[in-house]
Amino acid sequence: MVAMVGVFLVELQDGSTGEPLPGFSLDDADVVKGSYISKIVSWRHGQAQSLPREFEGRALKLKVAMADASLFAVEFRCF
């Protein structure tokens, strides 16, 4: 029997239009593979782990694409 390992990707979208933020689309997202209690997501091969200041104060949407995975909680932190 082969154990399944879940994967997920995260996209950040403009809160009003639903359009992906430049550099933070699913195509830019780094795949997260495995089971985690805490995991920082990233984009563009680890080059981006937080939003640029130009997005501060704007409403955002979060799109999560998953395969063989379950999501139980999301936490946002300001660095």
pLDDT digits (tens, 9 = 90+) for 30-51: 999 988 888 889 999 998 888 8
Q: How many domains does the chain have?
A: 1
| Segment 23-31 long-range contacts (CB within 8 Å, at least 24 positions apart) | 23/48, 24/48, 24/51, 26/63, 26/65, 31/7
Enter the pTM of the model.
0.84
- From the list 1, 6, 17, 31, the residue with the least C-alpha distance to 59 is 17
Specify the pLDDT at position 3.
Answer: 59
Per-residue pLDDT for 20 more than 90? yes
- Per the structure, the complete domain to which residue 45 belongs is given by 1-79
- Stretch 6-16: mean pLDDT, rounded? 93
Choose between 2 and 65: higher pLDDT.
65
